[in-house]
Structure 1
Amino acid sequence: MTIHLDTLIIGGGISGLLVARELRLAGREVTILDKSKPGLEASWAGGGILLPIYPWRQAPAISELAVNSLKKYPALSQELLAATGIDPEWYDCGMLICKNPDYEQATRWCKHYGIAHQPAAAELLEPFTSDYHLPLWLPGIAQARNPRLLKSLHAYLRQTGVRFLDNTEVKGISIANRQIQQVETADQTYTTKELIISAGAWTTDLLNELLPDWPLDLQIQPVRGQILLFDALPTTLLHMVLDGDQYLIPRRDGKILAGSTVEQAGFNKITTEDAKQQLYQFATGLLPALKHYPVCHHWAGLRPGSPQGIPYIGRHPQIANLSVNAGHFRNGLVMGPASAKLLADLILQRPTDIDPTPYSPTRAIAP
């Protein structure tokens, strides 16, 4: 028997879930298909800082999505908490950036986007051991606790009628007249008016395998990141700290994340002793108080790396009812709400808040 769907999303990470929310709010019937359980890959594994690492050093297209999303997170978190009772732990604890050789560029970026900033006061620096260089304090920068945000969003979507097909892999896609006709799984056939692929690091391989005659060279590749979690007290660290390319993130219950590595390891998610030792040395070197607390968890995730970290958001250039929302690299949570809104606007033919041109999949048409 063939099951007829309105909108099918392949991928249950933060990007797929937030697109589902946008389309459901617009009245669309949405089904999410995931090869495992929703939210167990990079979305779950990240640190949850709601700011790109040194955004002034990155492409403006990243800043546009990130800053737009920052404005949406407080209301989104309250909405999810009120609807589900599960707190995403949006927490505006602020961020200290220890080394800023490009201080003028950083402050110009902050002024342009309306981000509160000031030179870091001496008392902010006291707990840390760092070779400070023009330290910068961003008091309004927030975080979200990835697993709880995903759990809350998942529960919210179920309440609103979104259907989930867990532990389900797509085996084939058929096309006629430049339209998706059928999606095949191991035990079911689906038709869908709209298909969205939001499969994170697996997006490129999935498209190449299922649609070999419609090539898109998205260049989304897995980039492994490892993180440690210290079981500390709530007073140990009161705000996020970025030192070089690594960071500490305090959760409300006192636990502290130390991250992260950036590794080309294919689809290998194993943790390594070398990374554990490197992260431990970084964390305890920056914040010596952490030597008094045990490491209670060590994990790895696979980020969807893309050229310049700019995601692909929009219609497939050759298949009318196929869209993509993937390739956010380290910033899936940071750019998530604005990315989802942009794709929903394009699908529903609404005016967009952000110029969609830099994110268009047409930039990846294979020669």
Structure 2
Amino acid sequence: MNRVVIVGGGVAGLLSCHLLAAKGVSVVLLESAERVGRESSWAGGGIVSPLYPWRYSAAVTALAHWSQDFYPGFARQLLEDTGVDPEVHVTGLYWLDLDDEAEALAWAARERRPLFSVDIAAAYRDVPVLGGGFGRAVHMPGVANVRNPRLVKALRASLAAMPNVELREHCPVTGFIQENGQIRGVVTAGGEIRADRVVLAAGAWSGELLRTLGLELPVEPVKGQMILYKCAEDFLPSMVLAKGRYAIPRRDGHVLIGSTLEYAGFDKTPTDVALESLKASAEELLPALKDAEVVGHWAGLRPGSPEGIPFIGELPAHPGLWLNCGHFRNGLVLAPASCQLLVDLMLGREPIIDPAPYAPAGRLG
């Protein structure tokens, strides 16, 4: 395998490229937008955990656990290599008034994860700005968030310095090159790009591309809107989550509030209805935000998939075409393990985890 083309410059594509290139593979990464990492990888919150980890299957849990251990060291390496800090910020996370607290605690005991029921008074002591009226709290102390726009900036800078990587932005892919039953590259507006293997990591747009081969990939765009406040650096010491909405502190005092879950096709227009809903959630969680300025409001498209289980592996009917897509709400937290698993399989190495749950075989229409 001398040359790989990766379609999609989100975190899954960028990290797949990074890991392959580090093994000496020549990689061409293609991004349809003017800049890599500007879709859901930029738009999300960057919590290095599923929002409710106990509600997911063992397949998602396995990827998440591996990735959580990966981020701190990788972020340090990226900072050293590029001067761009992805800001892995360990704050812990409080879930408030969970309906399924018993299930959360049972999951933690089974998986040996540090998640505990705590006295609500302890949560208020730790997070004094928390709104009143909450009665119960569950705490996971080691959870971090990564500043995802800076993560993709650091990844891009790292790839730009690798001699065996070619980044082509503003280069939409329109189809695949098929020869003798094999996928041998991609077709773009600027012509054909040939390769030994192609990796499809185009997020919510992956299904559109696979339709050119007559395949139905159950990955669809799911819109999420978020808002951003600027506060004092010490305003919010921990991430907090209640009623499906969360607040995430960045190191410099920015606080993210998210997010909506909307099935609206490929429309990414922020709406006033969502803005008001998010502001109401923000002020219920953290009443002091009523007097804070909203400095950002945006929408992104998650790659929705059944049970949130990504597709990772080669398509049996189209040898040479590999998938790494469909991470739904957990792209940032699942990306390291997903990309390492992909690279292990492509290079014929012992995979980090059992690849069977993610294999495309039998999961496409």
| Residues 32 and 170 in structure 2, CA contact (< 8 A), matched pair in contact too | yes
Query: CA separation in 2, counterparts of 1:297 and 1:6?
Result: 40
Q: Deviations over 1:251-299 (max 9, x none)?
A: 1000100100000110000000000000001101211111121000100
Q: Which residue of 2 aligns with 1:346?
A: 345
Query: CA separation in 2, counterparts of 1:172 and 1:356?
Result: 27
Please tell me whether residue 73 in structure 1 is matched to residue 75 in structure 2: no
Alignment of 1:20-169 (within 5 A): 20-36=17-33, 37-121=35-119, 122-125=121-124, 126-129=128-131, 131-161=133-163, 162-169=165-172
- State the identity as a percent: 42
Runs of 4+ residues deviating >4 angstroms: none
Secondary structure of the corresponding residue to residue 108 of structure 2: helix
Secondary structure of the corresponding residue to residue 363 of structure 1: coil
Equivalent residue letter for 1:280: K
| Residues 185 and 196 in structure 2, CA contact (< 8 A), matched pair in contact too | no
Give, in angstroms, the shift of residue 142 of structure 1: 0.4
> Taking structure 1 as reference, are residues 9 and 130 closer, same or farther at Cα in structure 2, changes over 3 Å only?
farther
Count of residue correspondences: 359
Q: Which residue of 1 aligns with 2:308?
A: 309
Query: CA separation in 2, counterparts of 1:261 and 1:129?
Result: 21
Equivalent residue letter for 2:360: P
Q: Which residue of 1 aligns with 2:248?
A: 249
Could you say what the CA RMSD is over the residues aligned between the two structures, in angstroms? 1.5
> Taking structure 1 as reference, are residues 163 and 130 closer, same or farther at Cα in structure 2, changes over 3 Å only?
farther
Q: Which residue of 2 aligns with 1:11?
A: 8
Q: Which residue of 1 aligns with 2:196?
A: 193
Secondary structure of the corresponding residue to residue 30 of structure 1: strand
Query: CA separation in 1, counterparts of 2:187 and 2:323?
Result: 19
Alignment of 1:255-266 (within 5 A): 255-266=254-265
Give, in angstroms, the shift of residue 234 of structure 1: 1.2
Give, in angstroms, the shift of residue 5 of structure 1: 7.0
**In terms of mean alpha carbon deviation, does 175-184 or 39-48 score higher?**
175-184
Q: Which residue of 1 aligns with 2:292?
A: 293
| Residues 96 and 120 in structure 1, CA contact (< 8 A), matched pair in contact too | no
Please tell me whether residue 206 in structure 1 is matched to residue 209 in structure 2: yes
Q: Which residue of 1 aligns with 2:231?
A: 232
Q: Deviations over 1:288-327 (max 9, x none)?
A: 1111210001000000000111110110121111100000
Equivalent residue letter for 1:246: R
Secondary structure of the corresponding residue to residue 331 of structure 1: helix
Secondary structure of the corresponding residue to residue 172 of structure 1: strand
Equivalent residue letter for 1:203: S
**Which runs of 5 or more structure 2 residues have no equivalent in the other structure?**
none
Equivalent residue letter for 2:168: L
Secondary structure of the corresponding residue to residue 167 of structure 1: coil
Equivalent residue letter for 2:148: N
Tell me the TM-score normalized by structure 2.
0.95
